[in-house]
């Protein structure tokens, strides 16, 4: 679903909902526990949180929307961060988790202290927590499906994975594997970790290319497409179809290739502004709303037809994005019930 279509659907549902009252949460403090900030997606996610959170505080909806990021992307460090938030008396903790399972003890401790816990993007399995995610497995599968439509004879694919051990990486990888199983004209000829960062991906792809046969496509996780393209160009190879991840630099590269030689691809990713949906979901739970434990939002897809629109609306150095209002969150909750 495109950004415009999703927001239109959300607006329709939101229009039927009653106006919100803020009195019950005006003294509530919400904290963001984030495990990693080393790429443009995470930076945009934090910027969206600050923008919407600061406004919510200014409007008197909540008392605080503080953000904290660990320095080492270690589950033990994030668990200690969560325990510190418990001691500081936050009413809700919103988490982008380093691991789906390793934080469960700290999260259970938070729940035991009466704290609402909402995970998003990197979600957790602790039953007391809420989870907000896109269907990352389907996101991976659709990449291979797209390549199957474009490349009749199939061939060898290069897979660029994200941060090892993180839920998102595991799910997208599983979807890519499913896509290859469904379209057995493709073979994964090589796999590297790009850590969702262009510079890491470029170095990793450059390192594996000499050992690979001809590559017809590159399946990715976001933050890695432009780096892959640069490494392939430096190796003197023809540019395969590289599925991109909505970053401004890679979409700009795509537009340049399109204008120069008609290059076609697609781009998809979860919107960084999902952090703002998690903020409002936490606020709604604190306000007494009945919220399902699992909420799913669509990933943002950019096509050949919507590329120019996406480029125009995405700041330099950032990622195509959607930020959520309280009414948007109420609509997402209502659709899940």
Contacts of 325 (CB under 8 A, 6+ apart): 14, 52, 280
Exposure string for 282-311, b = 16+ CB within 10 A, e = fewer: bbbbbbeeebeeebebbbbbbeeebbeebe
Specify whether 142 is located in the same domain as 217: yes
Using the Cα atoms of residue 50, residue 52, residue 55 and residue 56 in order, give the sign of their dihedral: negative
H-helix or E-strand spanning residue 95: strand 92-96
Residue 12 lies in a domain: yes
Any domain includes 86: yes
Contact, 245 vs 225, CB < 8 A? yes
Q: What is the CATH number of the domain that holds 100?
A: 3.40.50.2300
- In terms of residue numbers, what domain contains 66? 3-134+270-299+320-336
Check whether residue 173 and residue 82 sit in a common domain.
Answer: no
Whether 269 and 310 have beta carbons less than 8 Å apart is answered as: no
Query: Per the structure, how many domains does the chain have?
Result: 2
Examine the domain organization and report whether 58 and 74 are in the same domain: yes
pTM: 0.83
Domain presence at residue 306: no
Same domain, 260 and 193: yes
| pLDDT tens track, the chain, 337 positions | 444 554 444 444 444 344 444 448 999 999 999 999 988 999 999 999 999 999 999 999 999 999 999 988 899 999 999 999 999 999 999 999 999 999 999 999 999 999 999 999 999 999 999 999 889 999 999 999 999 999 999 999 999 999 888 888 999 999 999 999 999 999 999 999 999 999 999 999 999 999 999 999 999 998 899 999 999 999 999 999 999 999 999 999 999 999 999 999 999 999 999 999 999 999 999 999 999 999 999 889 999 999 999 999 999 999 999 999 999 999 999 999 8
Distance of CA 190 to the CA centre of its chain: 24
| CB of 294 closer than 8 Å to CB of 129 | no
> Is 120 in the same domain as 143?
no
Question: What distance in Å separates the CA atoms of residue 125 and residue 119, rounded to the nearest whole number?
Answer: 9
């Amino acid at each position: 679903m495109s950004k415009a279509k999703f927001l239109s659907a959300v607006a329709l549902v939101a229009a039927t909902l009653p106006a919100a009252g803020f009195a019950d949460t005006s003294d509530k403090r919400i904290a963001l526990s984030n495990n990693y900030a080393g790429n443009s997606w995470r930076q945009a996610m934090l910027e969206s949180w600050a923008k919407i959170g600061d406004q919510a505080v200014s409007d008197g909806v909540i008392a605080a929307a503080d953000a904290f990021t660990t320095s080492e992307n270690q589950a033990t460090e994030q668990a200690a961060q969560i325990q510190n938030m418990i001691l500081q008396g936050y009413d809700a903790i919103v988490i982008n988790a380093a691991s789906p399972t390793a934080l469960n003890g700290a999260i259970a401790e938070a729940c035991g202290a009466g704290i609402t816990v909402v995970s998003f993007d990197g979600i957790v399995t602790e039953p007391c927590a809420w989870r907000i995610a896109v269907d990352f497995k389907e996101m991976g599968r659709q990449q291979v499906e797209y390549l199957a439509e474009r490349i009749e004879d199939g061939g060898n694919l290069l897979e660029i994975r994200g941060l090892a051990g993180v839920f998102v990486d595991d799910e997208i990888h599983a979807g890519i594997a499913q896509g290859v199983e469904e379209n057995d004209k493709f073979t994964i000829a090589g796999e590297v970790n790009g850590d969702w960062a262009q510079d890491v991906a470029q170095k990793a792809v450059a390192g594996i290319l000499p050992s690979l046969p001809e590559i017809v496509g590159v399946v990715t996780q976001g933050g890695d497409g432009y780096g892959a393209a640069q490494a392939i160009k430096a190796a003197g190879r023809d540019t395969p179809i590289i599925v991109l991840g909505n970053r401004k630099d890679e979409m700009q590269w795509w537009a340049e290739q399109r204008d120069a030689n008609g290059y076609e691809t697609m781009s998809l990713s979860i919107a960084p502004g999902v952090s703002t949906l998690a903020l409002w979901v936490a606020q709604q739970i604190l306000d007494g709303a009945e919220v399902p434990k699992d909420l799913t939002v669509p990933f943002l897809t950019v096509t050949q037809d919507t590329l120019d629109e996406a480029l125009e609306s995405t700041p330099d150095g950032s990622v195509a994005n959607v930020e959520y209002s309280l009414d948007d969150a109420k609509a997402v909750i209502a659709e899940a019930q």
